[in-house]
Amino acid sequence: MTKLNHWIKIAAMTAILCISVYLVPPIIVFGGVPLTIQTFIIFLIAYLFTPKDALWTLSLYILIGVMGLPVFSGGSSGLTALLGPTGGFLMMFPLVAYLIARFKSKDKQMAVDLLVTFGFGIVLLYAVSAIWLSYVLSMSYIQGITLLLPFVPLDILKVVIAHTVYQKMPSLYELSTH
């Protein structure tokens, strides 16, 4: 694969991630944290890409949002969004995508991949994001994690759907090949 094709795949997935916040009307739950399909796309990126490319894709997404394009949940952007209640999620997305891509199975083993994604994409993401949320909203960590708990079942469903899509993709179209 040429370097140009490689960067086109990263740019294309970044674009899909950017529009993903508009594909489902955001439902605001307590603390200003909206429900979107954004995490589904992040899990899919982690499954499809190499760790380095997943990190590039999510870092580019964050950069685009910080530069002012309305690509974060609810159409927000800029440092204000990054430092707001959902900033913990935004800041963790590149690391989570990298870790899932790094530790996923080489042969699409569902049990291994789901365990890896639950560990990094649910447990780690929510644990750190709750710290950020509780700090920004001046509440206890328990209150912060409690505000996020309603999202966990839906994110678990997104993990399973993302892996199912990933498993169905012919290897010819896997975006992690070079």
Non-local (6+) Cβ contacts of 148 within 8 A are: 31, 33, 126, 129, 130, 133
Q: Is the pTM of this model over 0.75?
A: yes
Q: Which ranges of the chain would DSSP assign to H, the alpha helix?
A: 3-23, 38-48, 51-66, 78-82, 87-103, 110-117, 125-136, 141-148, 152-168
Residue 7 has a pLDDT of: 92
Residue 22's pLDDT is what? 87
Locate the domains of the chain by residue range: 3-24+31-173
pLDDT of residue 1: 60
pLDDT of residue 47: 96
C-beta neighbour count of 150 within 10 angstroms: 12
The Cα 152–Cα 157 span in angstroms is 9
User: How confident is the model at residue 176, as a pLDDT?
Assistant: 45
Rounded distance, CA 113 to CA 119, Å? 10
Q: What is the mean pLDDT of each run of 10 residues along the chain (178 residues)?
A: 86 95 71 77 96 97 97 91 94 98 95 97 97 96 93 94 90 47
Cα-based angle 149, 136, 68 (whole degrees, multiple of 5): 100
The pLDDT, as a whole number, for residue 178 is 47
Architecture of domain 3-24+31-173: Orthogonal Bundle (1.10)
Q: Which pLDDT value is given to residue 127? A: 97
Q: What pLDDT was estimated at residue 28? A: 63
Whether residue 160 contacts residue 119, with contact meaning beta carbons closer than 8 Å, is answered with no
pLDDT at 26: 60
Report helix, strand or coil for 133: helix
